[in-house]
Homo-oligomer: A and B are copies of this chain.
Amino acid sequence: MLTERISAHIEHKDLDSLKALLSGLEDVELQFAFNDLTDEEQVITFRLLSKAAALTLFDQLDTEHQENLLSSFTNERTIEFVNTLAPDDRVRLLDELPAGVAQQLIANLSHEERKITNLLLGYEDETAGRIMTTEFISLRRKMTVAQALDRIRQQARDKETIYTLYVTDSMKKLKGVISLKELILAQPTDVIDRIMTKHALRVHTSTDQEEVARTLQEMDLLAIPVVDKEERLVGIVTIDDAMDILEDEATEDIFDRAGITGNETDRSDLLVNGSLWRIWKVRLPILVVTLGFAFIAGFIVDGFEEALESIAAVAIFIPLIMGMSGNVGTQSSTVFARGVVLGQIDMKKFAKPFVKEILVGLSIGLMLGVITGVIAGLWHTPMLGLAVGLALIVAITVASLLGFLVPFLLIKLNLDQAAGSAPIITSIKDIVALLIYFLFVSIFLGVVY
């Protein structure tokens, strides 16, 4: 009866009602119905339970049924079902798995299986939960160094790292860390609790993977423990994974900056070895967007057609104004981006570096503007020289300002990861530079539109 109700909810993908139904059940009721569900129904039901209820149920299952449940996480029909869920449903409905269950599950999966199953674990993409490994050795506080070394000898063969050991209590809560070096230097009779580092640095399953990698790098750690909401140890992230993450993030940044979109894990390979069709899919979108901006730039020039018709020389300096303000703006954006990454610019104290950058822009604008204005004045007419020079000063200053301000706002609005923000910023700077130029041309050459 209850079994059928659960099956029906799953069949209709009505997970909200199912979750409500499950939360009202007694442990015994649930356990009874659970055994009659199909494998994939068991997984879905299990994942919709609260963390506490899931742990109770799991502990009540015998070993065979526990194993069956875990292996059902990767069965084809389960995966199919999960793939039909909207990503926000997954996040909203699925709690973290209990640490013990998550550890067992991850430990038994191949790398490929983990990728698919991690969705079911309730860990978001690009978080510590998605990249951690469970191949670590945990110790107990009351162990002596000799006992700890014995355990390490027994378990070392299957573990990714044995150079950092994690001390947990019976509830799997992380109590401290100790390095193999410290163990080797200690007396065999020393007790772990006395020599371990308490309050060890840790990250949560939901911590962003780039933050995890940067912490490992900055603290010169070989590995960092990952805990769940109850501070239970569920995995570790090692330094070699951190290096790969930083490399991947750098590559992503570089592609985004060049207006190459997409989330392929190996965009670089796709771009060199992929089909034309797939290459267009990552390269064309931003190009089409910037083509739109280019037409806007065209409309601006068109709006000043009279000016161009009476003094064709005005067109001569279009590439110069656009190019030079573009170059200075790119410098400013680079200074800002690296400053934030490397910690010289604090997002909360933005005013000071911002004013400084505008000053830098203004001073550079003055130098290049005067040189260009003089040359343009001698080459054509003094008035054109004046217009070009002043326009360049203002355009370069504004480009510096935008080069800092736009990425700052994008970060504030959480849009900085948006693919192709760089070419779009460039397009905006182009349009602003053209407007400034034609404004000065109109003023000094008397051709007001």
Q: Which A residues fall within an 8 A CB radius of B?
A: 149, 152-153, 156-157, 162-163, 180-181, 184-185, 217, 220, 222, 239-240, 242-244, 246-247, 250-251, 254-255, 257-260, 268-269, 271-273, 276, 279-280, 283-284, 286-288, 290-291, 293-295, 297-298, 301-302, 305, 308-309, 312-320, 322-324, 327-328, 330-331, 333-335, 337-339, 342, 344-345, 353, 356, 359-360, 363-364, 367-368, 371-372, 375, 423, 426-427, 430, 434
- Supposing A184-B153, A272-B353 touch, asked if A335 and B434 sit within 8 A by C-beta, the answer is no
Cβ-closest chain B residue relative to A376: B298
- Complex formed: what's the CA distance from A320 to B296 in Å? 9
Q: Which B residues are in CB contact (< 8 Å) with A318?
A: 301, 315, 318-319
Q: Which B residues are in CB contact (< 8 Å) with A162?
A: 181, 184
A150 to chain B, nearest CB (A): 10
- Complex formed: what's the CA distance from A415 to B369 in Å? 30
A354 to chain B, nearest CB (A): 11
Q: Which B residues are in CB contact (< 8 Å) with A268?
A: 335, 338-339, 342, 344
Pair A363/B157 contact, Cβ less than 8 Å: no
- Supposing A312-B312, A364-B280 touch, asked if A287 and B338 sit within 8 A by C-beta, the answer is no
A-B contacts, 28 listed (Cβ < 8 Å) = A152-B184, A156-B181, A217-B244, A220-B240, A243-B243, A243-B246, A246-B247, A254-B337, A259-B331, A260-B335, A271-B338, A280-B367, A283-B331, A283-B360, A287-B328, A288-B368, A290-B327, A293-B323, A294-B320, A297-B319, A301-B319, A305-B316, A308-B312, A309-B309, A315-B315, A315-B318, A319-B434, A322-B323
- Supposing A217-B243, A344-B269 touch, asked if A324 and B291 sit within 8 A by C-beta, the answer is yes
- Complex formed: what's the CA distance from A122 to B173 in Å? 52
- Complex formed: what's the CA distance from A280 to B423 in Å? 25
Pair B330/A258 contact, Cβ less than 8 Å: yes
Q: Which B residues are in CB contact (< 8 Å) with A244?
A: 217
Q: Which B residues are in CB contact (< 8 Å) with A342?
A: 251, 268-269
Pair A185/B163 contact, Cβ less than 8 Å: no
Q: Which B residues are in CB contact (< 8 Å) with A185?
A: 153, 156-157
